[in-house]
Amino acid sequence: MKFSIERAALLDAVSQAQAVVERRNTIPILANVLMEADADGVSFKATDLDIEVIDKATAQVERPGGTTVSAVLFHEIVRKLPDGALVQISEDQAQGRLDITAGRAHFSLATLAREDFPVMASSDYDANFSCKAGVLRRLFDKTRFAISTEETRYYLNGVYMHVAEGEGGRKFRAVATDGHRLARVDAELPSGAEEMPGVIVPRKTVDQVRKLLSDDDAEIAVSVSETKIRFATPQITLTSKVIDGTFPDYARVIPTGNTRELKVDAKDFAKAVDRVATVSSERSRAVKLTLDEDRLTLSVNAPDSGNAEEELAVAYGDEKLEIGFNAKYLQEIAAQVDVEMATFLFNNSGDPALMREGDDLSAIYVVMPMRV
């Protein structure tokens, strides 16, 4: 194998692939990236056995072939090469080495046979559809903060993507929850997604897919089966296993009878919560909200370190209410608001609160209260 490639194109391709590789591996070949050169260019493949990424790049191929080399080491070398460099890569099969030359810099890396590189089994997909990158990014960005990190509740360790009944018909929906807060976001159902099975997309997959979604107008080809999900652009294909579990009936925890409405500037609210939470103990991080006629008082009382209080002018016309929340949860939920005003709906101090972005019903958030 022998080819030449621009450093920028090589770095782009290798960055996406090496991000999938686990740093600590008991199987040496999983620490490697598989590079294969043919008449169409070069492809770089990496896997952790749950996710597989294939990234294609344009190159001048002199001799087709393929080998595997340490993904992290190869990425570090390419990253440190000068901008605009033309990188020449060739394989010395007899020595089991990969030679990398750029200008006066030369590297020789150990390789492992490409025949040993694991291949993810091909799959028949139940639904194939196309979706704008901006739509997928919104679904993932607004829900991933609520993904659980508890390994014992593995079925909550991802975003549940499915087709559901929403405002004005069937919707493409993403939901995540950790039992303390919940995010539910709807988008228009893409053509071809009607028969899509509901799948739980793992956290790591969500993080990797997010890197494919920088261009809002790019079309992403999505394929879904009961066991796998695939996202593809012309250059990159990411295939992932989905979490084998049943997502809980989240509709039961979304309050429908909350009538006490609070409207507040989302940015001012998040900053005020952050300020008063400075004195709270790290373990509880509890903030008390006291609601009165067009006034919201945020307060923290931490016996060990002190107390804090801040008042905000808000729109609230119901009876007085005192309710406590985890400060971090409030900040994360307020950070999802893209419009100026956040709308909170409360029932009483022991019931979960619901938040939405102004009057938009396509994204709703639920947060459980705390005793304060």
Report field, pTM of the whole predicted structure over 0.85: yes
131, 190, 213, 241, 360 from 221: Cα distances, Å? 6, 11, 12, 17, 28
68 contacts 112 by C-beta, under 8 angstroms = yes
What region, left, alpha or beta, does residue 15 occupy, with left being phi > 0 and alpha being psi -120 to 50 degrees?
Answer: alpha
Structure confidence by residue, pLDDT tens digits, 197-230: 999 999 999 999 998 898 888 999 999 999 999 9
* CA angle at 370 for the pair 178 and 175, rounded to the nearest 5°: 25
Tell me the domains of the chain and their CATH numbers: 2-116 (3.10.150.10), 127-252 (3.10.150.10), 256-367 (3.10.150.10)
pLDDT of 280-328, one tens digit each?
Answer: 877 668 999 999 999 999 999 888 888 999 999 999 999 999 999 999 9
pLDDT of res. 283: 66
153 has pLDDT over 80? yes
Distance CA 367, CA 329 (A): 7
The percentage of residues in the chain with a pLDDT greater than 70, rounded to a whole number, is 99
| Nearest partner of 10 among 43, 32, 54, 39, judged by Cα | 43
CA distances from 171 to 80, 197, 248, 280 (A): 45, 13, 19, 40
* Whole-number Å distance between alpha carbons of 97 and 107: 10
